Amino acid sequence: MPFGVYVHYPYCARHCPYCDFTVAVTREIPHKAYRDAVLAELAARAGSFAGRPPAISLYFGGGTPGLWPAENIAAIIEAVDGRLGLAPGAEITVECNPEDVTAATAPALRAAGVNRISLGVQSFDDALLGRLGRKHTGDGARRAVARLRAGGLEDINIDLMHGERRQPLAAVLADVHAAVELAPTHVSTYQLTIEEKTAFGARARRGERLLVEDDVLTAMYGAVRAALSDGGIEPYEVSNAARPGHEARHNSLYWTDGEYLALGAGAHGYMHRGDGAERWENLRHAGRYMQAALAGRPGETFRDLLDAAERLEDRVLCGLRLDRGIAVDPALEARFGDRARRLAEQGLLGGLPRRWRATARGRAILDRVIVDLVS
């Protein structure tokens, strides 16, 4: 089974009003101390992943890991390679915000070993970017892509967001077309969601409507997928589309029951335990995380054991997000086979008997299909 490594960098230059990720906003980011903490955590945890083939992916997410001077990223890539091994051509991704990409960014990251960038564009519409609290402009995002390419980083994911109340379908499609024009290898499209403990959450509690209506959202989702497909970037998962051969290898681990070692504050890890599995979350507070990791005892907010039945449910839950669905094995067939056949009769699942994949109708109500299958 392939496995990967996720490194969470929790620092951001500001807190976007819709974001509830584990982030820390501080004037002085302790770049080196945080790197040392991640290296200490790697030393403490690498043993639990020993004996596996080399990692197929290393993903620096956040937060804004694009703020981390490249020498720190280089040190972590080298240490992961030294302790666990990185497979030849392993996918090594760093998330960046457009305003942080300079002419020096790509050469420095490439020299560190990075071969893929995920760019938090969200939109090319300056008015919407302002409402989302973003600091870049549409032209700034275009410049960032050009700079990454000029510096030799060609494998670029563009993140887009839709569903904000004042964003009509035409504006959503204009964003997709603008992204396609930049010829990225991958596009991730997210619906804006209102999380309770965010500035948008507070505005929603005061009665403000921040999202488009549900039926508009559903129409937008279909239109976005069609526009991406027309542009040669084929949807392959609920929120992700790629040019052939550029499906995200690291994220694919999440959808296919792959294992991943988590490093950094608030990072989530997952490993198999016989027929079951184990998953955990690192301490979320950056300061407390660093203290524990540097003391050689990385702490966790939780560690859950999944039995074989729970792991099977998770495989269905995650695998059905993929357009190709999941390959049916005897364990899945024995547990969910009758329900899968009933959903197929309703036109919601296809690919039987070898695969279970949501049909176009099934995808429109995917949450219900998954609940019907596993509960």
State the residues that interact with ligand SF4 by CB under 6 A.
12, 15-16, 19, 21, 23, 62-64, 97, 120
Q: Give least dist CB 195 to ligand SF4, A.
A: 11
Joined together, the tokens standing for residue 283 give 């301490």
Give every CB contact of residue 368 below 8 A, 6+ residues apart in sequence.
none
Nearer to ligand SF4 by C-beta: 16 or 38? Answer: 16
What whole-number distance in Å separates Cα of residue 272 and Cα of residue 231? 38
Nearer to ligand SF4 by C-beta: 7 or 23? Answer: 23
CB 215 within 8 A of CB 169: no
Nearer to ligand SF4 by C-beta: 3 or 6? Answer: 6
Nearer to ligand SF4 by C-beta: 64 or 282? Answer: 64
Q: Give least dist CB 2 to ligand SF4, A.
A: 27
Q: Give least dist CB 132 to ligand SF4, A.
A: 9
HSE-up of residue 74 (Cα within 13 Å, Cβ side): 11
Q: How many of the other CB atoms lie within 10 Å of CB of 326? A: 20
Nearer to ligand SF4 by C-beta: 95 or 155? Answer: 95
Q: Give least dist CB 204 to ligand SF4, A.
A: 17
Q: Give least dist CB 11 to ligand SF4, A.
A: 8
Q: Give least dist CB 18 to ligand SF4, A.
A: 7
Give every CB contact of residue 218 below 8 A, 6+ residues apart in sequence.
364
Closest CA to 46 of 34, 59, 55, 57: 55
Q: Which residue's entry shows tokens 């619906």? A: 191
Q: Give least dist CB 358 to ligand SF4, A.
A: 29
Joined together, the tokens standing for residue 224 give 């976005």
Joined together, the tokens standing for residue 91 give 């996918």
Give every CB contact of residue 238 below 8 A, 6+ residues apart in sequence.
321, 363, 366
Q: Give least dist CB 24 to ligand SF4, A.
A: 10
The bridge status of strand 186-191 relative to strand 156-162 is parallel
DSSP states along 237-274:
ETTEEESTT-S-HHHHHHHTT-EEEEESTT-EEEEEET
Closest CA to 325 of 273, 281, 270, 363: 363
Nearer to ligand SF4 by C-beta: 62 or 140? Answer: 62
Nearer to ligand SF4 by C-beta: 16 or 224? Answer: 16
How are strands ordered across the β-sheet holding 349-350? 326-327, 355-358, 349-350
Nearer to ligand SF4 by C-beta: 181 or 196? Answer: 196
Please name the amino acid found at residue 61: G
Give every CB contact of residue 28 below 8 A, 6+ residues apart in sequence.
none
Nearer to ligand SF4 by C-beta: 62 or 269? Answer: 62
Q: Give least dist CB 23 to ligand SF4, A.
A: 5
